[in-house]
Structure 1
């Protein structure tokens, strides 16, 4: 049996490099336009907070980049809910001042279509949850849309619970926003055997 080539091997890193921000924003824009019909305003929604994250991130915040060769095939981030304010999809604040330091927000979780089905999403989510736990966050919250069934299944498997939903129109389509929360005290967390190593 031949060993995997650099074209099939996926590596995960969290050291940000020039071009990463643009690649993550582009992947979101292209994939969500094709799969959900989102318009260009979705790319702007991703780009603004991500640019601020790159400029101001702290030691309790991290963006993971999954690559096959030199091509981005996945990403996920943990940001402090109080650092830029935890946002729902409408861009409205979501964390009270009292809980901001204890809560992390999971953002920019996406696996490219060609990299799905091999456990990359589970691995990225596991790495993000483990990092948040190590950083001392007491909970992780995230906003998603109801159409993303596979992602919701991953969240539930990791112990997240849906706590809120609201219909609305954004990015050129009708959506139902969903908020998921994971309590990190005693939560079931998927364990990655080799965090941030080659798959």
Structure 2
């Protein structure tokens, strides 16, 4: 991977993000179409109402080809939420996930958030290991039926000092 850049999310990235989330999660986890619908709703809300002073999204790309994404949105006055963290398979294992996560966390800290939260599934082992290495802690875990699958839903958080 040559010269990967992180650039701000643009509205025209939304269809790609919805398609990638839908295809990758269907292929890798057996998720049904309701997951892509959720991603589309999250992106539509972000495009329509995000506050650029305290919320941002990034797209990782090389030579104009998108490789991944991450978003920081306001959850409450002093807590941010990490959303839509994705890497295409060919971009994994090269430190790009860590770079995206560090960028998102640094943004949240710089905007005065005291911490962050995220929601994921236990099956995302590489991402969960990255969260743990980056100071996040697992705060809850429960079995659910979502997106046509039996999953173990997890909530993670990190406090900034």
On whether the aligned pair clears a TM of 0.5, the verdict is: yes
Residue matched to 2:101: 125
Cα deviation code 1:142-194 (max 9, x no counterpart): 00000000000010011000000111111111001000000011xxxxxxxxx
Name the SS for the 1:19 alignment partner. helix
Structure with the higher fraction of residues in helix conformation: 2
Aligned partners of 2:70 and 2:83 also within 8 Å: yes
Q: Normalized against structure 1, the TM-score is what? A: 0.78
1:54-108 alpha-carbon deviations (Å, 9 max, x no partner): 1111110000001122221110000000xxxxxxxxxxxxxxxxxx201100000
Question: Does structure 1 residue 13 correspond to structure 2 residue 3?
Answer: no
Partner of 1:148: 124
Distance apart, 1:24 and its partner CA: 1.1
Partner of 1:106: 82
Question: Which ranges of structure 1 fall in alignment gaps of 5 or more residues?
Answer: 82-99, 186-199
The corresponding residue for 1:67 is 61
TM-score w.r.t. the length of structure 2 is 0.95
Number of aligned positions between the proteins: 160
Aligned pairs for 1:1-199 (under 5 A) are 8-14=2-8, 16-58=9-51, 59-81=53-75, 100-185=76-161
Q: How far is the alpha carbon of 1:17 from its aligned partner? A: 3.0
Indicate the RMSD between aligned Cα atoms, in angstroms: 1.2
Structure number, greater radius of gyration:
1
C-alpha deviation, 1:18, in angstroms: 4.5
Between the aligned partners of 1:140 and 1:62, the Cα distance in structure 2 is 14
